[in-house]
Structure 1
Amino acid sequence: MEAVLAKYENKINAFSEFLEDLPDTKEPVWILGARYNVKTEKSELLSDVRSRLWFTYRKKFSPIGGTGPSSDTGWGCMLRCGQMILAQALLCWRLGRDWRWGQEGGEPVEYTRILHSFLDRKDCCYSIHQMAQMGVGEGKSVGEWYGPNTVAQVLKKLALFDDWNSLAMYVSMDNTVVIEDIKTLCRQPGWGRRRAGACGWGEMFATTNPVEPGSSQTPGKHVTSCPHPHSHSEWRPLLLIIPLRMGINHINPVYIQAIKECFKMPQSLGMLGGKPNLAYYFIGFIGEELIYLDPHTTQAAVESEPGISVDDQSYHCQRTPRRMKAMSLDPSVALGFFCKKEEDFDSWCNLVQQEILKKRNLRMFELVEKHPPHWPPFVPPTKPDVQTTGAEFIESTDKLFESEEEFEILNV
C-alpha cells in the first residue's frame, strides 16, 4: 500500500514541476474578494496567497483510529481542502481578511490557536483524524475518497465542538439558501455563555501565550485576553457552504461567470472542487483561469504540544499559486462564504441578487426568504452532551443532521 501511495505522490509531484509565473497582463487578479494588478501589486498579491493556511498530505502521524492509516496520501486531498476553507473562515473571524503572515513581532496567539486545531493529532478538533472518523457517519470508510458535500457535512458536525469560535455553519440543501433559516441559526440564544473545552487545548490557549520550541520560558498570561466574543452579540459568525453540481460529466460554461462573481465578493472563502481524482482549494481567478492551492504534496506531520509555537513554514505555500482553465473544472463543487456580522450577510444577499440571480438565465443556486413549506422544519443543530469528537459522536447525533445527495468528484 505504501508503495502505491508513493507512486501516486510521485506522479503528482512530477506534474507539479510545470509551474508558471503569473501572466504579465492588465487583467485584474481576484483573490478571495481582493483585487490586484499583477504589474503593480504582485508582491502584495503573493503575500496574500502566502498568508492562507495551506494543508497538504502528511505522513508519519499517529494511526487514525489507533490501527488505521498513518498518512493520507492518495485519499485525503478533499479533506485537506476542507481544512483550508474552514481555516480561512477562522482567520477572517479572529484576525481579519487583511491580516498577513510573517510580519515583524511574531504571530498573534489567535493564529497559533487556529493552527493547532488542524494539526494531525486525534485530540485536535479539525485534524485529519477527526474528519476521517466523522466521515464514517456520512457513509465513508477511513481512507476513502470524499466529495465537496461530504466534507462540508463533516465540518458542520465538528464545528459543534469548537466552543472557542462557535461558528454558525450552514450547508445548503437542494441548491437553495434560506435566509430565514440562516438568521435563526445565527441568532441562537445562549452561545455567549459557552466556553472552550471539548475542541482540544482550548483552555490552555485561553490563558497562555505560546512559547518558542526549546525555550525554558514558562507560558505567561495572555494580557489581551477578553471575554467570549459573543457575550454581547446576537449574531454568531456565519460559515456558509453551498454544494453544487454544475453539469453532468463536465461543467456547464454558463456557470463560469457566476463563479467569478463569487470570488469578487468580500465574503468569499473560495471554492472546493478540482479535476477528476484531484481536489483543489480555489481562491481566485485571472482571466479564464482559476487560481488554487494544491494539497498534493506529502510532508511529515508536525508535532507540537499545548502552548508551544508551531513550526509553521510548511503550512504556507511560498511559491507562485497554480492555475487551471475554468472549463477543466469538475462540475461538483462547494462555494464558501464568511459573514462576521449580520450586515455582512445582508450585503452578501444583495450581491447575490444583483450579480448572480438577476444577470443569469441559468442560476447556480436559489436564494429564498422563507423556509420552503414542503421541507422538514428547520432545527438548528446543538452540541451533544459528550466530551469527545470523532467516531463516538456519530451514532448519537445522526438524527440532528439531514443527509444530502452526495456530490463526488467524477472519474471521467
Structure 2
Amino acid sequence: MGESMKRAFMARYENHITALSDYLEDLPDTDEPFWILGRRYHIKSERPALLLDISSRLWFTYRKKFSPIGGTGPSSDAGWGCMLRCGQMILAQTLVCCHLGREWRWEKDKRQPEPYSRILKCFLDRKDSCYSIHQMAQMGVGEGKSVGEWFGPNTVAQVLKKLALFDEWNTLAVYVSMDNTIVIEDIKKLCKIHHKNKNSTTDTSAQAGAFSYNHIHLHKSRTGRSHAASGYHSIWKPLLLLVPLRLGINHINPVYIESLKECFKMPQSLGVLGGKPNNAYYFIGFVGDELIYLDPHSTQSAIDPESSKVVDDVSYHCQRIPQRMKIVNLDPSVALGFFCKDEKEFDCWCSFVHKDILKKPSFRMFELVQKHPEHWPPFVPPTKPEVSTTGAEFVESADKLFESEEEFEILNA
C-alpha cells in the first residue's frame, strides 16, 4: 500500500473511531469537580456553563483541499498533522486570553468582537496566515521534520517559538524550557521591552522588541546608571510559557499525576499537548482520574474567506460531548502551557508552582530557578531575522537562533 493510500485509510479510520466515541457516553454524573483551564465546575449544577466553556475553545482539526504546502506538497494534513493542530489550539487559547480574556464565550450566530475574527484568521489554512498549517509544517523543516512527518510536543513548541517572532500584532514572548528547568531571570529578560520615556527620543518601532535587552544592559554597565535614570521604562510582553517534559519511559509515571492535575487548576493554564502514540490531543482539563481533551482527528474541508470578510467559524468550535481518557494511558511526552499577560501574573504563577508543584522535591515534574545556570550558554532573547516572509526561505536563518531537544520526541504524532 502506497504512503498516500495509507494516510487516506488512517484518516478515514480515525474519523470513524472519533464519530463512534463521541456518542458512547455522556459526561459522568459525579460529585468530583471538573477543571477546565483554571476554572472549576460542578456537573450537577453547572453543566451548561461547563459545556459552553469547552465549546468556546478554538478547535482545529485535519483539513483537506487547501493550497499545497510549499506549492507542491500535500493539500491535506489528514494522518500526520494532529500535533500541529494541537499546537494551533494551545496558541489560539493564548491569543484568546490575551485579547478577549479567559471569561469570553462563543455562541453560534452571536456577533463576536473584532479581535476574535482576527485571531481566527491567524490560523486559516493559507500560506500567508501567520500560524497556518503551511507555516508550521515548513518551519518544522528547521527542526528536522519533513513536511508530512509527525511532530512531537517539543518540536511544536520550538516551531511556535520561531513563528511568534514574525507576529507583529501579538508580539508574544514565547519561552520554551530546557532540561526540565524554567529560569525566572531569563523569562524577565525575554518579556521586558525597554523604551525611552516621552521626554527622551522615543523609539516607536513595532519591531520587537524594539530595543534589544542586551543594548540596554550594556548601556547600564558602561554608565553605571539605571534604566529609569537613563530615561527608559519597561513594558512586559505577554508570555506564552511552554514546558516540554518526559514524565516516564513508556508510560506516565504515576508519581507525576497529582502535579499534572495541579497545572490544570492554575489560572494561567493553557492546557497540555500530548496524547498516545500516533494520536495527539489537546488536553484542557480533568475530572477524577480522566483527562478531558479536544481531538483534532476529524477531516473537514478547508475554508477560504476570500469572498467574505467574515469567516464561517462554526467548524472551529467542537459542540459535541468532550472526550476523555484515563491519565494513566497518557504518553509520557507532553508539553505544558501557561499564559501570563503581565509580570504580576507571572509572579503569581511562580508562587503557585512553589506551593503546588515543588512541595514534593522527589516528585517534581520540573524545576523553577531564579538565576540562569552558570554551566548553560548565555541567554540571549531572540530577535526577528532580517527576512520578509515566514515561509521555508527563512528556515535556515531562523534555525540558528534555537536548539532542538530531540530527547522529548518519543511521541510520534
* TM-score computed with the length of structure 2 as normaliser: 0.88
1:177 to 2:204 alignment:
no
Q: 1:15 matched to which residue of 2?
A: 17
How far did 1:380 drift? 0.1
Q: Which amino acid aligns with 2:35?
A: W
Q: Show the counterpart of 1:372.
A: 373
Query: What's the % identity of the aligned pairs?
Result: 71
SS at the partner of 2:244?
strand
Equivalent pair of 2:294/2:323 in contact (CA under 8 Å)? yes
**Is the 8 Å Cα contact of residues 147 and 406 (structure 1) preserved in structure 2?**
no
Give the structure 1 partner of residue 259 of structure 2. Answer: 258
| CA deviations over 1:152-211 (Å, ceiling 9, x no partner) | 000000000101100000000000000000001000335984449xxxxxxxxxxxxxxx
Which residue of 1 is the match for residue 250 of structure 2? 249
Instruction: Give the residue type in structure 2 aligned to 1:14.
Output: H
1:17-32 alignment runs, 5 A limit: 17-19=20-22, 20-32=25-37
**SS of the residue aligned with 2:356?**
helix
Tell me the distance in 2 between the aligned counterparts of 1:409 and 1:92. Answer: 30
Trace 1:262-281 onto structure 2 (pairs within 5 A): 262-281=263-282
Out of 134, 137, 140, the position equivalent to 2:139 is 134
Shift of residue 341 of structure 1? 1.0
Q: Contact 2:268 / 2:338 at 8 angstroms: preserved in 1?
A: yes
Does 2:99 align with 1:116? no
Q: What secondary structure, in the 3-state scheme, does the structure 2 residue paired with 1:272 have?
A: strand
* Letter aligned with residue 253 of structure 2: N
Measure how far apart 1:307 and its partner are. 7.5
Inter-CA distance 272–306: structure 2 relative to 1 (3 Å threshold): farther
In 2, Cα distance between the equivalents of 1:308 and 1:233?
37
Residue-by-residue CA offset, 1:348-390 (whole Å, 9 max, x unaligned): 0000000000135211000000000000000000011211012
Cα 1:176–1:301 change in 2 (3 A) is same
2:97 aligns with: 92
**357-366 vs 134-143, greater mean Cα deviation:** 357-366
Partner of residue 79, structure 2: 74
Deviations 1:138-159 (A, max 9, x none): 0010000100000000000000
> Is the 8 Å Cα contact of residues 90 and 114 (structure 1) preserved in structure 2?
yes
Distance 1:405 1:141 in 2: 15
Partner-residue secondary structure (3-state), 2:76: coil
What is the CA-CA distance between 1:2 and the residue it aligns to? 4.3
- Relative distance call for 1:306 and 1:336 in structure 2 (3 A) is farther
Separation in structure 1 between the aligned mates of residue 247 and residue 403 of structure 2, nearest angstrom: 22
Q: Secondary structure at the match of 1:46?
A: helix
Matched, 1:288 2:289: yes
1:204 corresponds to: none
- How far apart are the structure 1 equivalents of 2:243 and 2:151? 16
Which residue is equivalent to 1:228? none
Task: Read off the aligned partner of 2:170 and give its amino acid letter.
Answer: N
Measured in 2, the distance between the counterparts of 1:349 and 1:382 equals 26
Q: Given the superposition, is the C-alpha separation of residues 409 and 300 from structure 1 closer, same or farther in structure 2, using an over 3 Å criterion?
A: farther
> Aligned partners of 2:407 and 2:305: how far apart in 1?
35
8 Å CA contact 1:277–1:409 kept in 2: the answer is no
Partners of 1:156 and 1:306 in 2: how far apart? 32
Alignment partners' CA distance in 2, 1:307 and 1:383: 32
More off after superposition, 18-27 vs 277-286: 18-27
Distance 2:315 2:411 in 1: 30
2:5 corresponds in structure 1 to 3
Name the structure 2 match of 1:163: 168
What does the per-residue CA deviation read over 1:312-332, in whole Å, with 9 as the maximum and x for residues that have no partner? Answer: 000000011100000000000
Aligned-residue RMSD, C-alpha: 2.1
**SS of the residue 1:400 aligns to:** coil
Q: Matched residues in 1 for 2:269 and 2:205: separation?
A: 28
3-state SS in 1 of match to 2:305:
coil
Q: Are the counterparts in 2 of residues 31 and 283 from structure 1 also a CA contact under 8 Å? A: yes
The one-character-per-residue Cα deviations of 1:210-246 (angstroms, maximum 9, x if unpaired) are xxxxxxxxxxxxxxxxxxxxxx961110000000001
Q: How does 1:46-61 map to 2 (within 5 A)?
A: 46-61=51-66
Distance (Å, rounded) in 1 between the aligned partners of 2:329 and 2:31: 23
- Cα 1:143/1:103, change in 2 over 3 Å: closer
Structure exhibiting the larger radius of gyration computed from Cα positions: 2
Q: Is the 8 A contact 1:275 1:409 kept in 2?
A: no
The amino acid that maps onto 2:140 is: G
C-alpha distance in structure 2 between counterparts of 1:185 and 1:110, whole Å = 25
Measure how far apart 1:21 and its partner are: 1.1
Partner of 2:193: 188
Residue aligning to 2:332: 331
2-structure distance, mates of 1:399, 1:10:
39
Shift of 1:102: 1.8
- What is the match of residue 350 of structure 1? 351
Deviation at 1:406, TM superposition (A): 3.8
Q: Any idea what SS the aligned residue of 1:291 has?
A: strand
Q: TM-score, normalised by structure 1?
A: 0.88
